[in-house]
Copies of this chain bind each other. A is one copy, B any other.
Amino acid sequence: MTEALRPGATVGILGGGQLGRMLAMAAARLGFHVHVFDPDRNAPAAEVARAATHAAYGDEDALRAFAGSVDVVTYEFENIPPAALDLIEAVVPIRPNRKALATSRDRLDEKTFLHELGLRTAPYAAVDEEGDLAQALAVIGTPAILKTRTLGYDGKGQARILSPEGAEAAFAQMGGRPAILEGFVAFEREVSVIAARGLDGSVAAYDPGENVHEGGILRTTTVPARLSPGLRSDAVLAAARILNALDYVGVMGVELFVTARGLLVNEIAPRVHNSGHWTEAGCLIDQFEQHIRAVVGLPLGDGARHADVVMENLIGPDMDRLPALLKDGSRVHLYGKAEVRDGRKMGHVTRIRRA
């Protein structure tokens, strides 16, 4: 497939969480059918999709049937078992591509890739065994953060090391999995660029947003970010360089640290990104539609920002604030999750200040 899919074609989405759900609605608005694959029978995306397969990512028959029923496959998370991707890719294109997935799912590969591109990151070192950690700490110093190379998200699979004495406990927390030690970055703020690249190679980026995390989970994104014109341009160019190097198709989230010495790339996510949810309130074409446009081969849309926006995640008990939020002029977007749990993303709100 090098031509655009036509309305009536079917987009397959691996993962049926809130990102898959918002992608599914964006695909519907463009006239595409959607087939969601998610093991969870209560996956939020399933109820706004035409079809859903609830099966394990190791279920080869289910994967094959899924791949055979769709015209392109995209995904909402990066930790999809490679064997599942092999099987799907034999039938139908996967966008964004495997290289983007492989690079971003392993923190060490990701950092190496970014360095090879000439982009700066926090200092880092591979930690495969306990001896590596002592050596890495000697170079990088403390405080530092030990992270599993794969499968971590929202602060999971991470351990802070405040002094060399903490090394043993942190290493134990990795549970024997290969890890990476990252030096602590004294950053002024974190920003992210939500950028898209089309099948035709064109690149478009949304205005950078400024992120605040709490407990490892994104709390708010504010646009515009407090960035000098020079740094704003650096941020967007860094994202564009990454997309081009990966021959990327789709939307990517690129998190950056703003430091006294310029920008460092924190991490990349080869998918729509929580820090881009503000686009649904601040832009004509939001990140979800932009992603669908890219993966089906349509031209990228107009992502210019028409308002200043603050996006706030509704996490767990934040849902108690719902009655007030529905009254105060916010736009409330809920994910249809039945059960409220601590740390669970239940929805988000956006507030705009007309620009």
Residues of A within 8 A of B (CB): 4, 7-8, 21, 24-25, 28-34, 47-50, 281, 284-285, 293, 298-299, 301-302, 304, 306-307, 319, 322-323, 326-327, 329, 331-336, 338, 347, 350, 352, 354-355
Whether the pair A331, B284 counts as a contact (CB closer than 8 A) is yes
Whether the pair A306, B354 counts as a contact (CB closer than 8 A) is yes
List, in ascending order, chain B residues with CB within 8 A of A355's CB.
354
Whether the pair A30, B329 counts as a contact (CB closer than 8 A) is no
Give which listed residue, B21, B31, B281, B334, contacts A336 with CB less than 8 A: B31
Copies of this chain, whole number: 2
Knowing A284-B352, A285-B331, A338-B8 touch, does A28 contact B47 (C-beta < 8 A)?
yes
> Shortest beta-carbon distance, A74 to chain B, in Å?
18
Among A7, A21, A32, A307, chain B packs the most CB atoms within 10 A around the CB of A7
Give which listed residue, B31, B326, B352, contacts A306 with CB less than 8 A: B352
Among A4, A30, A304, chain B packs the most CB atoms within 10 A around the CB of A30
Knowing A47-B50, A327-B299, A338-B8 touch, does A332 contact B30 (C-beta < 8 A)?
yes
Whether the pair B33, A47 counts as a contact (CB closer than 8 A) is yes
Give which listed residue, B25, B335, B352, contacts A25 with CB less than 8 A: B25
- Complexed CA–CA distance, A327 and B298 (Å): 8
Task: For A6, give the chain B residue with the smallest CB separation.
Answer: B322
Whether the pair A331, B30 counts as a contact (CB closer than 8 A) is no
List, in ascending order, chain B residues with CB within 8 A of A7's CB.
319, 322, 334, 336
List, in ascending order, chain B residues with CB within 8 A of A331's CB.
284-285, 301-302
- Complexed CA–CA distance, A335 and B8 (Å): 10
Whether the pair B327, A31 counts as a contact (CB closer than 8 A) is no
Whether the pair B326, A299 counts as a contact (CB closer than 8 A) is yes
- Complexed CA–CA distance, A285 and B352 (Å): 11
List, in ascending order, chain B residues with CB within 8 A of A298's CB.
326
- Complexed CA–CA distance, A337 and B333 (Å): 26
Knowing A7-B322, A48-B25 touch, does A30 contact B354 (C-beta < 8 A)?
no
> Shortest beta-carbon distance, A352 to chain B, in Å?
6
> Shortest beta-carbon distance, A4 to chain B, in Å?
8
List, in ascending order, chain B residues with CB within 8 A of A336's CB.
7-8, 28, 31-33
List, in ascending order, chain B residues with CB within 8 A of A30's CB.
332-334
> Shortest beta-carbon distance, A216 to chain B, in Å?
25
* 20 residue pairs A–B, Cβ–Cβ below 8 Å: A7-B319, A7-B336, A8-B336, A8-B338, A24-B48, A25-B25, A28-B47, A28-B48, A30-B333, A31-B334, A33-B336, A48-B48, A48-B49, A281-B284, A285-B331, A298-B326, A299-B326, A301-B329, A306-B354, A354-B355
